[in-house]
Amino acid sequence: MSDSPSKLQRDAARAIVTRYLKVRAGENAIIESWDHTMPFARAMVDEVRRVGGHTLLVHEDEEAWWRAIDRKQSKLLGRSSAPEWGALKAADLYVNFWGPGDTDRIERLPEKTFEEALAWIGPWYEVAQHAGLRGSRMTVGFVTDGRARKWGLDRARWEEEVLRASLVDPADLARSGQRLAKALARGRTVRITHRNGTDLTVALAGRPARLMDGRPRPYRTGDPPFGMLQSIPAGTLDVALDARTGEGTFRANRRTNIWWGGHRGGTLEFAGGRLSSYAFEEGADDFAREYRKGTPGKDRPSVLKFGLNPAVRDVPQLETVEAGSVSLQIGRNSQMGGSNRSTFFTWFSLAGAEIAVDGTPVVRGATVL
């Protein structure tokens, strides 16, 4: 891979800096990158400077990180240095590229080791809240050689799809989301149907829907604890569900890739507001292992995520933002103002469905009506 940013990386960086982050002259930005995302990170540095911002590029060297793991220093990795905390407190903006890039090795790490190496995350968000930080999590960091091999993808094409989805104007995402939010605000029940056999009815919890159009803001009292960072590419409208209602069948037609392995081809049956049975084409053992560990509430429908991004069609890691898709979450929804505090949650994504609120269609195919 070339160390120099491509034209598409530069175009995406410019769109993110000007449309999503809206960086102003004089603002201070931290851009944190791993080896595999350095070309894009360099483009971000250029674009922040172009509008008059100040940058600090933090490069996490992959080989050095893994050597620390080999020396059993995961707890050391989980404690950020004093200069890092100082920089964070002085920053206005933060751009995070996910890593490490050796995802094959990540999947072989013992769970305890990985948790120790990431122990800095909780304190990081506390400092970011007090600092008034806003920023972006860059999904392109998930695009790795290992994942491309595992899922049978062309890595370069996958990255291009993710970058092109970053060019969508967030104002367009917001307009679609606001139309849908109005319908949900007036409604009580949502019915999801699809020719693949999906026919599920769930109830809304009466909570305001949350638009994630990629434009972050500093933390305010009442915001979700991680809300000052938004993922890019963006485009979801999330709404909490009433956990007491859920009847019918939901069949996912998109892969769900999450930290414990993910699943594909999920078929879920609900009765009386509870998950009564499930089956998967792939990932059943991983799901069952994590599901068993979950506390009460794990079997309840909890959130619907409506995708809004028209540049996405069946792109790994972007299943929830694909325009017209709906993702059903089960388990915890306290982050959405709901009452479900289970330790377990995951979601299942379906594209091409018809979605109706109180009998009135609001989504058909890839279009918000």
Report the distance separating Cα 99 and Cα 32, nearest Å: 10
Give first-to-last CA distance, the chain, whole Å: 42
Contacts with 118 (C-beta within 8 Å, 6 or more apart), sequence order: 78
Reduced 3-state DSSP string for 163-222: HHHCCCCHHHHHHHHHHHHHHHHHCCEEEEECCCCCEEEEEECCCCCEEECCCCCCCCCC
Residue 162 · residue 337 · CB < 8 Å: no
CB 233 within 8 A of CB 160: no
Domains and CATH numbers, the chain: 7-165 (3.40.1830.10), 170-368 (no CATH)
Query: Cβ neighbours of residue 81 under 8 Å, at least 6 residues apart?
Result: none
Helices (H) and strands (E) in the chain, counts: 12, 17
Q: How many Å apart are CA 268 and CA 249, to the nearest integer?
A: 6
CB atoms < 10 A from the CB of 272, how many? 9
**CA–CA separation, 295 vs 146, rounded Å?**
32
- C-alpha pair distances (Å), 227 with each of 95, 128, 230, 257, 326: 14, 11, 7, 21, 21
- Reading the chain (369 residues) residue by residue, the pLDDT tens digits are 458 999 999 999 999 999 999 999 999 999 999 999 999 999 999 999 999 999 999 999 999 999 999 999 999 999 999 999 999 999 999 999 999 999 999 989 998 999 999 999 999 999 999 999 999 999 999 999 999 998 899 999 999 999 999 999 999 999 999 999 999 999 999 999 999 999 999 999 999 999 999 999 999 887 887 889 999 999 999 999 998 899 999 999 998 866 556 778 889 999 999 999 999 888 888 888 889 999 999 999 999 999 999 999 999 999 999 999 999 999 999 888 788 899 999 999 999 999 999 999 999 988 888
CB contact at 8 A, 137 and 229: yes
**Residue of 227, 190, 229, 212 whose CA lies nearest to 308:** 212
Cα 323 off chain centre by: 15
Residue where the block lists tokens 């094409």: 157
Please return the burial class of 309, using the count of CB atoms within 10 Å of its CB with bins 0-12, 13-18 and 19+: buried
Residue 26 CB neighbour total at 10 angstroms: 10
